[in-house]
Structure formats: structure tokens, C-alpha cells
């Protein structure tokens, strides 16, 4: 007993622990990171989540399928339209409804517009994390144009709830095609500005290149998807591997890098904006005629069984898993949200980097906190 007692020098073993969050400018929400420091060097990062947990999955068990759509908006609010789509696709798969091409194409266009505006906001806030505050306003300036397009058709700007089981809430606005084309013309012109102010900046590149390296093995074993995973060479684009909606009829490249550092996670998102524009350009002139929604029963009841749908949100793979017991509400519903999984890798890739790098790495994972907590 005696020999087990060690002499403890006060201050010798003490770690310098700081709490980043739940209210901190760089965590983009109520994420709390308990950071152990040695001087400026990060020794351990422990994420504490649950500050914005609303029990969305539990709430889904007591509401009907059309109502669930509106809850999924609130998970990853920046890819709201894609979240809606995942539930719609799961329900349609269960009911074996044949969805007309017009709906598929419009859904795809909306998904890609959502992806662009999400990456624009990523770029904006990432610039601000790195200390270049002007980026934030440049990003928001362009994002505003997409939100205006959304507003014209759906009435909503961020949480548009445009998809519903069986199709869309309403038809597209007559101006829709023209405005999307105008936007793409405009955005192709201003995207080089993004590169000029941030991507090509020597301070920015020296702060991000070679920082927070995530290897391919780790990306797969941690399940890091989306642009963060693809920057490590993990080919995980659901749009490519399991095409849904109209992705099987468009040509686009899966943006893949092998470096896996912070800079390439950032670059992957910039390149994805270009790819998204390519997809939209292929579809926008070829929207087939037809109904904007299939007539569904007033009360949707899924047959007994388990249904699963994968979609690619702007942050990674969103899986919707529905267990139905034949009622109008699901027996159990589970969302595999990308941000929750991507957060898990944070400690692994930030260890032994500096505080400033922690901000850069956490920013490059592009976490949306309500998506982590659900």
C-alpha cells in the first residue's frame, strides 16, 4: 500500500485545459471542445455534444411521414433540401411509387443548388475562422442569390421543405430556369475571386497545407464521408456509387484527392461547387414535362418492414433507416448524419498541432452542430 503512493509535485502533472465552447466564435454553434494544451500545442481534444439535442428521431416516431419532412430540415439546416429528399426517397421506395422524371430532375437541381449554397457558406465561415473576415461577406453575397431562387419557387429561403412523399409541394416558378442559368453564369465569373482571396493566398496555404493529415485507412475506419473523406482519397460519393433521383443521367466527376490535409478538404469543396454547376447545367434545359407530384393516399402508411436510403448531403453520407409496423408513423427511424461521424475524427487529426490549427482543422470538417446532436 505504502509504495503505491507517489510523490506529486504541484503543477508538474497539471494540464492546461480550456473549454472551447459551447459559446465560442469558431465552433459555429453549441459544440464544446475540451482542449488539453501544452503551451500552444494541442494534446487532446474531447468533444462534448448534446447542447442542441432535440430528440428528432424520437419525435419522428409519433408523427406522420409528411410531417417528418419538416423535422429533417432542422438536422443539417444547410442541406435541408437533401435531407427532405432522403426521407421522401425512403417512403417512395417502401410504397414502390413510380416517380416521374420531372420530379427527379427538379429534385436533383434543388439538391445541387443546396450543395452550392452550403459550400459557399463553408467558404465564407472558413475564411472568417482563418481571420480573413472579408471572405464572409463575399460568400454570403453569392449565397443570397441562391436563396432568392429558392424563395421564388418555394417561399422559404433556408428550410424550404420543398420535397414531399410522392413528389414536390408545388411546381417550379416560371422564372426558375432563367434565374438558375443567370446564377450559374454569374457564379462561374466570381468563383475565381474565391481562389484569389483565399485559395491562392500564401498565408492561407502555409496554414493549411500539411496540417491535420487524415490517411485513407483512417478515413475509412472512422467513416469520414463527404468532401472531407474524398480529400483523403476515400471514394464515397453516393451520387456516383448508388445514384438516386436523376444522378444516373448526368456526367460529373467525383472530386478525389489523396493528400488528405486541411487544404485539400477545403479544395474539395471548392471543386465540388464547379461540379455541381456542371450537373445543374446538364439538367436545367432538359426538365421533362409532366406532373410535379404523384397522387398519394391522404394518410401514408408504410407496409411492415425495414427501409433504407442513402443520399449525399453537402457534408457526407446521410442514411435514413425506417422500421415500419404498418402504421401511419414509423416504429423507429434512424438518421446516420455525416457531421456526427466526421466529428469523431477530430481528436485523431488535431493532436500535436497548434491551437490555431485546431480551428483550421475543425473548420475544414465543416461541422453543423444541429446535425451532430439531432
Partner 1 sequence: MRIDLITSLFSAFSEPWWKIFYDFSILTRGVDEWLRNLMTPFWTVVIEMVIIGVVFLLLYAVIGLFLVYAERKVCAFLQNRLGPNRIGPYGIFQTIADLVKLLFKELIAIKNADRFLFNLAPYIVIIVNFMVISALPFGKGLHAIDFNIGIFYILAVSSMGIIGVLLAGWSSNNKYSLIGAMRSGAQIVSYELSIALSLITIVILAGTMQLSEIIEAQRSGWFIFKGHFSALIAFVIYLIAGTAETNRGPFDMAEAESELTAGYHTEYSGIKFAFFYLAEYINMFVVAAIASTMFLGGWMPFHVAGWEGFNNVMDYIPPFVWFFGKTFMVIWIIMLFKWTFPRLRIDQLLTLEWKYLLPINLVNVLIMAFLVLKGWHF
Point out which residues bind partner 1 (CB under 8 A): 16, 18, 24-26, 37, 40, 127-134, 136-138, 141, 197-198, 201, 203-204, 206-207, 354-357, 359
User: Taking the CB of residue 156, how many other CB atoms lie within 10 A of it?
Assistant: 16
Task: Say if residues 320 and 335 touch (Cβ distance below 8 Å).
Answer: yes
How many CB atoms neighbour CB 255 within 10 A?
A: 19
Return d(Cα 360, Cα 356) in angstroms, integer: 6
**Choice between 103 and 135, CB closer to partner 1:** 135
CA distance 9 to 57: 49
In the complex, the smallest distance separating the C-beta of residue 30 from partner 1, rounded to whole angstroms, is 15
Considering beta carbons, is residue 21 or 316 the nearer one to partner 1? 21
Written as nine digits, the cell of 369 is 452542430
* Smaller CB separation from partner 1, 73 or 142: 142
Residue 371 CB, nearest distance to partner 1 (Å)? Answer: 20
CB of 131 to partner 1, least distance (A): 3
In the complex, least distance from residue 366 CB atom to partner 1, rounded to whole angstroms: 15
In angstroms, the CA 19 to CA 153 distance is 43
Cβ-based burial of 319 (10 A; exposed 0-12, middle 13-18, buried ≥19): middle
In the complex, minimum distance from the CB of residue 283 to partner 1, in angstroms, rounded to a whole number: 30
Nearer CB in complex with partner 1: 197/296: 197
DSSP lists the bridge partners of residue 319 as 310, 336
Which residue, chain included where needed, has cell 466570381? 190
Amino acid at each position: 500500500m505504502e509504495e503505491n503512493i507517489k510523490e506529486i509535485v504541484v503543477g508538474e502533472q497539471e494540464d492546461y485545459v480550456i473549454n472551447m465552447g459551447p459559446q465560442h466564435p469558431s465552433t459555429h454553434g453549441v459544440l464544446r471542445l475540451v482542449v488539453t494544451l501544452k503551451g500552444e500545442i494541442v494534446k487532446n481534444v474531447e468533444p462534448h455534444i448534446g447542447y442542441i439535442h432535440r430528440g428528432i428521431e424520437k419525435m419522428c416516431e409519433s408523427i406522420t411521414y409528411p410531417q417528418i419532412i419538416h423535422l429533417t430540415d432542422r438536422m443539417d439546416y444547410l442541406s435541408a433540401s437533401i435531407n427532405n429528399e432522403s426521407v421522401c426517397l425512403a417512403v417512395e421506395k417502401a410504397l414502390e411509387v413510380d416517380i416521374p422524371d420531372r420530379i427527379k430532375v427538379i429534385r436533383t437541381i434543388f439538391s445541387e443548388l443546396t450543395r452550392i449554397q452550403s459550400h459557399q457558406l463553408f467558404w465564407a465561415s472558413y475564411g472568417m475562422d482563418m481571420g480573413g473576415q472579408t471572405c464572409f461577406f463575399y460568400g454570403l453575397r453569392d449565397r443570397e442569390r441562391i436563396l432568392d431562387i429558392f424563395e421564388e419557387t418555394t417561399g422559404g429561403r433556408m428550410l424550404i421543405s420543398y420535397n414531399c412523399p410522392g413528389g414536390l409541394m408545388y411546381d417550379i416558378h416560371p422564372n426558375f430556369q432563367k434565374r438558375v442559368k443567370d446564377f450559374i453564369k454569374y457564379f462561374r465569373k466570381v468563383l475565381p475571386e474565391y481562389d484569389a482571396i483565399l485559395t491562392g493566398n500564401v498565408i492561407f496555404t502555409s496554414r493549411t497545407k500539411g496540417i491535420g493529415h487524415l490517411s485513407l485507412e483512417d478515413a475509412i475506419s472512422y467513416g469520414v464521408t463527404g468532401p472531407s473523406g474524398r480529400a483523403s482519397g476515400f471514394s464515397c460519393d453516393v451520387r456516383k456509387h448508388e445514384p438516386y433521383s436523376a444522378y444516373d443521367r448526368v456526367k460529373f466527376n467525383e472530386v478525389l484527392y489523396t493528400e488528405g490535409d486541411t487544404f485539400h478538404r477545403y479544395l474539395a469543396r471548392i471543386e465540388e461547387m464547379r461540379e455541381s454547376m456542371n450537373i445543374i447545367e446538364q439538367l436545367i434545359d432538359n426538365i421533362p414535362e409532366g406532373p410535379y407530384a404523384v397522387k398519394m393516399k391522404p394518410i401514408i402508411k408504410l407496409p411492415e418492414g425495414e427501409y433504407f436510403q442513402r443520399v449525399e448531403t453537402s457534408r457526407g453520407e446521410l442514411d435514413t433507416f425506417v422500421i415500419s409496423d404498418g402504421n401511419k408513423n414509423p416504429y423507429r427511424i434512424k438518421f446516420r448524419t455525416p457531421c456526427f461521424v466526421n466529428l469523431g475524427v477530430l481528436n485523431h487529426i488535431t493532436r500535436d498541432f497548434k491551437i490555431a490549427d485546431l480551428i483550421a482543422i475543425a473548420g475544414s470538417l465543416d461541422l453543423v452542430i444541429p446535425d451532430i446532436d439531432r
